[in-house]
């Protein structure tokens, strides 16, 4: 199982998001160790840079990612 290339810099992966939720490990299996291309944080990191990954966006919140990327 491959891990997302942004895992080291990612706030969600490192349990620093504001609302990790009770299913964080399941989310990590689905996104970080699964299909990261659908991850909101991945979209932000690949568009704006890994230093722009916010702590208030979860992998499933693509609507937030689109808004942030659109600026």
Q: DSSP letters along 22-34, please?
A: TTHHHHIIIIITT
Closest CA to 7 of 48, 60, 29: 29
Q: Are 55 and 11 in contact (CB under 8 A)?
A: yes
Nearer to ligand SF4, 45 or 68 (CB): 45
Give the nearest distance from C-beta 19 to ligand SF4 in angstroms.
13
Give the nearest distance from C-beta 58 to ligand SF4 in angstroms.
8
Interface residues with ligand SF4 (CB under 6 A) are: 4, 6-7, 10, 12-13, 31-32, 36, 39, 41-42, 45, 59
């Amino acid at each position: 199982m491959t891990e997302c290339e942004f895992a080291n810099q990612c706030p969600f992966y490192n349990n620093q998001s504001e609302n990790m939720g009770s299913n964080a490990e399941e989310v990590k299996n689905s996104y970080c160790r699964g299909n990261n291309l659908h991850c909101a944080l991945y979209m932000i990191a690949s568009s704006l840079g890994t230093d722009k990954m916010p702590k208030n966006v979860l992998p499933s919140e693509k609507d937030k990612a689109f808004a942030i990327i659109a600026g």
